[in-house]
Structure 1
Amino acid sequence: MSNSVALVTGANKGIGREIARGLAAAGLTVYLGARDQERGARAAAELPGEVRVLRLDVTSQAEVDGAAARIEAETGRLDVLVNNAGVALDWAHGPAGADAEALRRSFEVNVFGAVAMTRACLPLLRGAEVGRVVNVSSPLGSLGLLSTPESPIAQRHLLAYSSSKAALNAVTLLYANALRPDGVLVNAVSPGLVATDLNAGSPFPRGERTPAEGAALPIRLALLGADGPTGQFWGEDGIIPW
Structure 2
Amino acid sequence: MKTALITGANRSIGLETARRLAGKGYFVYLGSRDLSKGNEVVDLLKREGLGTVEALQIDVSDSESILAAREIVRQKSGGLDILINNAGISGGFPQTPSQMDTDTIRRVFDTNFFGTIQVTQIFLELLKKSDTPRIVNVTSGLASLTLHSDPTWQYHAFKGAAYGPSKTALNAFTVALAYELRETAFKINAVDPGFTATDFNQHRGTGKIDDAADFIIKYALIGNDGPTGKFFSKDLNGEGDESPW
Fold match (TM-score > 0.5)? yes
SS of the residue corresponding to residue 183 of structure 2 reads: helix
Task: State the TM-score, normalizing by the size of structure 1.
Answer: 0.94
Letter in 2 for 1:93: Q
Unaligned runs of 5+ in 1: none
Q: Distance in 1 between matches of 2:218 and 2:51?
A: 18
User: Are the aligned partners of 1:136 and 1:188 in contact in 2 as well (CA < 8 Å)?
Assistant: yes
1:51 maps onto 2:53 in alignment: yes
Q: Does 1:8 align with 2:21?
A: no
Match of 1:134 among 136, 140, 164: 136
Distance in 2 between residues matched to 1:93 and 1:128, nearest whole Å: 40
The alignment partner of 2:55 has SS state of: strand
CA distance in 2, matches of 1:93, 1:221: 30
Quick one: distance in 2 between partners of 1:234 and 1:12?
A: 24
TM-score (norm 2): 0.93
Structure 2: segments with no counterpart, 5+ residues? 235-239
- Aligned-partner Cα distance in 2 for 1:154–1:19: 29
The SS at the match of 2:93 is coil
Counterpart of 1:168 in structure 2 is: 170
Deviation readout 1:28-60 (Å, 9 max, x if unpaired): 000000011111011112222300100111011
Alignment of 1:1-242 (within 5 A): 3-47=1-45, 48-200=50-202, 206-236=204-234, 237-242=240-245
Cα offset, 1:118, TM superposition: 0.3
Letter in 2 for 1:41: N
Structure 2 counterpart of 1:227, one-letter code: D
State the shift of 1:208 in Å.
Answer: 2.8
Matched residue count: 236
Distance 1:131 1:90 in 2: 34
Kindly provide the amino acid, as one letter, of the partner of residue 244 in structure 2.
P
Retained in 1: the 8 A contact 2:95–2:162?
Answer: no
Q: Which moved more, 1:100-109 or 1:44-53?
A: 44-53
Q: What secondary structure, in the 3-state scheme, does the structure 2 residue paired with 1:119 have? A: helix
Identity %: 40
Amino acid of the structure 1 residue aligned with 2:42 = A
Bigger shift: residues 160-169 or 205-214: 205-214
How far, CA to CA, are the matches of 2:191 and 2:106 in structure 1? 23
Alpha-carbon distance in structure 2 between the residues aligned to 1:8 and 1:93: 28
CA contact (8 A) 1:35 1:57 kept: yes
Q: Is the 8 A contact 1:27 1:49 kept in 2?
A: no
Partner SS, residue 53 of structure 1: strand
Report the alpha carbon displacement of residue 146 of structure 1 after superposing the two structures with TM.
Answer: 1.4
3-state SS, counterpart of residue 104 of structure 1 = helix
CA distance, structure 1, for counterparts of residue 69 and residue 182 of structure 2:
25
